[in-house]
Amino acid sequence: MLFHSLEFLALLVAVASLSALLRGDARRLVLLGASAVFYASFDPRFLALLALVVVVDHGVARRIAATQDRALRRRLLWISVAVDLGALATFKYYGFFAGALAQLFEVFGATPPWHVTGLLLPVGISFYVFQSLGYVFDVHRGRAEPARLLDYALFLAFFPKLAAGPIERASGLLAQIRADPPPTVERSLAGGWLILVGLFKKVAVADPLGLIVDPHLASGLTGRGGDAVLVLVLAGTRIYADFSGYTDVARGAGRLLGYELAPNFRQPLFARNVQEFWGRWNMTLSLWIRDYLYYPMALNPRLGPRLGTGGLAVVTMVVMGIWHGASWNFVLWGLYHGFLLALYGRLRPRLHRFRNALAARGRTAWDLAGILATQSVVFGGGIFFATADLAAAGNVLAAIAVPPWGAELRAQEVGAALAHVLAILLLDLLEARSASPEPWLRWPWGARRGLQAVLAAGIAAALLLGRPQLPYQYFQF
């Protein structure tokens, strides 16, 4: 059930209308039931694994909170880690590791005693497993109180954010579920705005870009270097419009149901350096990695000094890469960004001193150069993100080496693609130039209606063209 489908919109309207009339556990049960219907629409079998994670981590967290025995608390914590990461490893990484081990057998002339087959990947497993682990970690650290089973089940399964985040914290969504805030007209209107913006990003920007980009990536980009570079830029823009569009719809749907989900993007296309980029892109995942992996390693008296800030950046980014997918592409993607962060960490003091010594116009030019450089290296790393395997990534690299421009992309494709890129840039620019997010909520009536008309027209035009509905990119993670 995709967010830009009539089925989802019908479910959302029905659930929002019914839940507005209810309070307390009756409302929570309706939302939990709707979440089960939504998740079962992908595959009813997915519900069993989600229920397992809910029951295990709910029970472990309550047992941790009930004892002061440090050894027992640590053992309980490891039970949760083993179950959650075991489920993730089984369904997401079994095929990758079994295939790598089979290749090792073949190197030595042996035949592996198993047949490598991938398992069906449950939608959203990486997101809800990390969210559940974060809750158990917080209870173990004394930063969260154990929840009732119904509250915790809704916290993990809440359908607007179940498939692709944001990765929520106990202090955020779970606290709201406990408080049971009623939907308000103001919040619902703001939610409707976010849904409109998110659908525009998906239907009018991301999907048209996908229809242009995917065939060229699948064909191996046999054209010249300029074509390959442009395809990478379009692929990166497509992923951003797709994922941020999903997040906007998720947050908007949450508001219609009375809850405020965490923001996940803050105009990453205007980031001035790689560190700032990761503070603006998929922010809830970046914060999770920071709080539950980077900081514990940095504070470890043995591990922290050995790795240093650069080594910590590389390790955490490799983990983030593996979180995205079970392939060597994502391992290399994580290494690439880890080394970029480590390099920037070494250069940052000098770069800041140089910028601060410039006049106002010089600092503006420096920031613009930083934005261009940052997006260049980010889109460059997209070689590993947008391609299916190392062979395909190698084809793209080989194409980039061929100067200058070829005829792989037709002029009409280039024009349409750049128009879609401009649309997402303008939306981000509206927010980047404002002192607060979602500035259109404070615009005069006429300006708000004008933007609504433009967004609605873009969505309608894309739908009337009869283009196929593409799944969200991050559903595969």
Distance of alpha carbon 235 from alpha carbon 220, whole angstroms? 14
For the chain, the helix, strand and coil percentages under 3-state DSSP, each to the nearest 5: 75, 0, 25
Tokens standing for 370? 């930083």
Distance of alpha carbon 263 from alpha carbon 257, whole angstroms? 16
Cα angle: 408, vertex 411, 415; to 5 degrees: 120
Spell 64-89 as b/e; 16+ CB within 10 A means b.
Answer: bbeeeeeeebeebbebbeebbeebbe
Length of the chain: 477
Amino acid identity, position 236:
G
Distance of alpha carbon 269 from alpha carbon 241, whole angstroms? 11
> Residue 420: which of 369, 462, 386, 378 has the closest Cα?
462
Residue 190 — φ and ψ, nearest 5°? -65, -35
CA distances from 379 to 153, 161, 382 (A): 38, 26, 5
CA distances from 346 to 227, 275, 341 (A): 34, 12, 9
Catalytically active residues are: 324
Amino acid identity, position 313:
A
Is-contact 183 256, C-beta < 8 A?
A: yes
> Residue 250: which of 198, 185, 296 has the closest Cα?
198
Q: Dihedral sign, CA of 303, 309, 314, 320?
A: positive
Distance of alpha carbon 77 from alpha carbon 72, whole angstroms? 9
> Residue 85: which of 36, 41, 130 has the closest Cα?
130
Task: Give the largest CA-CA distance in the chain.
Answer: 73
394 Cβ contact partners less than 8 Å away, ≥ 6 residues apart: none
Tokens standing for 202? 């998906």
Task: Give residue for tokens 């609504």.
Answer: 452
Long-range CB pairs of 33-38 (<8 Å, 24+ gap) are 34/159, 35/154, 35/157, 35/158, 35/159, 35/162, 36/157, 37/11, 37/159, 38/1, 38/8, 38/11, 38/159, 38/162
